[in-house]
Amino acid sequence: MFISSEHRELARQIQESDDPRIQEDLRRELESLEARMEAKGEQIAMVRRQQQKAKKQRKQLKSRPAARPKSASAVLPASGGEVEVITTVKTKAATPAPPGGGAKTTLPVYREMKTIQNSLAKNPYHWE
């Protein structure tokens, strides 16, 4: 049963009931259902935030400029005599992460998101 339809049904039963004890029991059950709905909403929001975070990290990894290979090239003038040498040197800080290095940052996020998704999947309630 969907949570929202269960909520409507409980509200209808409270209105139709004449016995105050039954109404109070139904109100407690309705409050419990509302608490579960809020918790489910928070879980869904957390999953969405984790997905956005992972998407942002993937985008950042893709947008890094491609590393140019170290090269030394010589340009020889047609007239001979002088030679101009152009050398490119990269510092250690500018070296790209090793292959799979980005996975080290996204893996914990992925694991946390899967844990939340699994807990959502175990819950028998659904949104309408």
128 is a domain residue: no
> Which has the higher per-residue pLDDT, 35 or 121?
35
Can you give the residue range of the structural domain that contains 83?
3-90+102-122
Cβ–Cβ under 8 Å, residues 3 and 37 = yes
127 is a domain residue: no
Cβ-based neighbours of 78, under 8 Å, separated by 6 or more = none
Percent of the chain with pLDDT over 70: 62
Cβ–Cβ under 8 Å, residues 15 and 27 = no
Q: Determine the average pLDDT of the residues in 16-21.
A: 90
Percent of the chain with pLDDT over 90: 20
The string of pLDDT tens digits covering residues 67-125 is 555 544 444 455 556 666 677 766 665 455 555 555 566 777 778 888 877 777 666 66
CA 26 to CA 13: how far, in whole Å?
8
96 is a domain residue: no
Put simply, whether the predicted model's pTM sits higher than 0.85 gets the answer no
